Structure 1
Amino acid sequence: MAQHYFDSDPEAASRPATVDLVLPDLHLRLGTDRGVFSPGKADLGTRVLLESVPAPPAQGRLLDLGCGYGPIALAMAARAPGASVLGVDVNGRAVELARRNAENNRLSNVDFRHVTPEGRPADGTPPGPEQGPFDAIWSNPPIRIGKPALHALLTTWLDRLSPEGTAHLVVQRNLGGDSLHRWLESQGRPTERAASRAGYRVLRVRRG
């Protein structure tokens, strides 16, 4: 069976690699591997998000939903050293990579959790920091899991925004960015297009 980055325990043989995420304000060197999202280079959608969003809250609790090997969470942590950042992913290999990347980039205000698709700890321990509330959520969500699963995922985590919290989601236009915008609005979540570049939409979403 084909392996996907949203598998909990990828069976793809390990092939470690390194990618560089270079942004105007920071440079992160990140370890990657097969079986995780975009192992060969920093994904364009991730770059569009990180180059388009306003600065994260200087303090509070921040979330990277679907963190992969950590580029978004680590950028949040570097930009907001006074905040507490959490990255979550269903892919256990990605979470381990993200933890090592935080250590290697000397970012101590970020943690990572392996979770189930329902947003609970994958190791069966009691719910913890992944329950929120979060003052900001940044995400390059896994569109390819299909609409029902994506909608369930976003409902779970957007409900964990603080009352004044804001989420920024990056989605390819031709993979349903505009239809996702309409769906979010239909769920009573005020949504606006914050940026549009290179075929991607960056959606700004409030809890509603």
Structure 2
Amino acid sequence: MEDLTHDLFLGGRLKIRQPRSGYRAGVDPVLLAAAVPARTGQSVLDLGCGVGAASLCLGARVPGLSLFGVELQDGYAELARRNAAENGIDLVVTGADLAALPVDLRARSFDHVIANPPYFLRAQGSAAPDAGRETALAEATPLTLWVETATRRLAPGGWLTLIQRAERLPELLAALDTRLGSVDLLPLAPRVGRPAKLVILRARKGARGTFRLHSPLILHEGSRHERDADSYTPAVSAVLRHAAALPWPGR
């Protein structure tokens, strides 16, 4: 990949190279990383890590993590390694299909597994002209396999944190089984009075807490877009600009 942009994340704390065309990380991996309840010294596996945006945002917020990523596309995996090195964050990236993880990863368990699976079913809509964007956005691996792989790699008491489109919530919840409990669901709504377009799910391996559906987190102020600038709410702006943790209702 030679035609790259060099984009700033977290108010300039991170500089991430990514393809000018193809799949490009936006605010979604930043919000995902901000929702992970990680602590210094813990281990994190990022399934489908792309250019490393979510892992690097998490590493910038919480120092001293052991970060691992799995990425199917070799070009994106190499960019993730390059981005990690250029930002001074340790991230071990393995080029592999999550359906066939290498032995060394299957032998490990992690305190956290995070994922931003493709949002769209390949049976619906038209394919993207760029192969990398198509692979990143359109599902070839079933969502159930993403959840199963994550669950297997979690240590007892470990956390799964995942972001997905709201329309696929029934499928996502159906993929959970009794190994995961204390499921929290945080809808992300673009504005007050608008339906949520994304959801962040957190669940804990071996926990027995009840399911909780929280009030939506509102991303933008006002009822509509009125000016040529972002209008993020203060809480979301703190996440995107200052590497703050995502406000998460307590249990």
**TM-score normalised to structure 2 length:** 0.64
Sequence identity, in percent?
24
Structure 1 residue aligned with 2:50: 68
Consecutive aligned runs of 4 or more in structure 1 exceeding 6 Å deviation? none
Tell whether the 8 Å contact from 1:48 to 1:200 is kept in structure 2 after alignment: no
Unaligned runs of 5+ in 1: 1-12, 122-126
Could you say which structure has the larger radius of gyration?
2
Determine whether 1:132 maps to 2:108. yes
CA shift in 2, pair 1:197/1:137, >3 Å = farther
**CA shift digits 1:144-170 (9 cap, x unpaired):** 344862212321222110001001101
Of 20, 26, 38, 2:8 maps to 20
CA shift for structure 1 position 19? 1.7
CA shift for structure 1 position 171? 0.8
Of 96, 99, 106, 2:88 maps to 106
Structure 1 residue aligned with 2:143: 150
Determine whether 1:30 maps to 2:13. no
Which whole-Å CA distance do the structure 1 matches of 2:157 and 2:32 have between them?
21
Tell whether the 8 Å contact from 1:57 to 1:135 is kept in structure 2 after alignment: no
**CA shift digits 1:79-107 (9 cap, x unpaired):** 33222110111111111000000111111
CA shift in 2, pair 1:55/1:157, >3 Å = closer
Which whole-Å CA distance do the structure 1 matches of 2:198 and 2:109 have between them?
27
Tell whether the 8 Å contact from 2:38 to 2:112 is kept in structure 1 after alignment: yes
Structure 2 residue aligned with 1:193: 185
CA shift for structure 1 position 131? 4.1
Structure 2 residue aligned with 1:168: 161
Tell whether the 8 Å contact from 1:119 to 1:157 is kept in structure 2 after alignment: no
**TM-score normalised to structure 1 length:** 0.76
Structure 2 residue aligned with 1:5: none
CA shift in 2, pair 1:182/1:147, >3 Å = farther
Q: Name the count of aligned residue pairs.
A: 181
Tell whether the 8 Å contact from 1:77 to 1:83 is kept in structure 2 after alignment: yes
Which whole-Å CA distance do the structure 1 matches of 2:68 and 2:2 have between them?
25
RMSD: 2.4
SS in 2 for 1:193: strand
Of 76, 80, 90, 2:62 maps to 80
Tell whether the 8 Å contact from 1:15 to 1:34 is kept in structure 2 after alignment: yes
Which whole-Å CA distance do the structure 1 matches of 2:80 and 2:117 have between them?
17
Tell whether the 8 Å contact from 1:159 to 1:207 is kept in structure 2 after alignment: no
Structure 2 residue aligned with 1:184: 175
Amino acid at match of 2:28: G
Which whole-Å CA distance do the structure 2 matches of 1:130 and 1:17 have between them?
34
CA shift for structure 1 position 60? 2.3
Tell whether the 8 Å contact from 1:61 to 1:135 is kept in structure 2 after alignment: yes
Determine whether 1:116 maps to 2:97. yes
Unaligned runs of 5+ in 2: 121-137, 191-196, 207-251
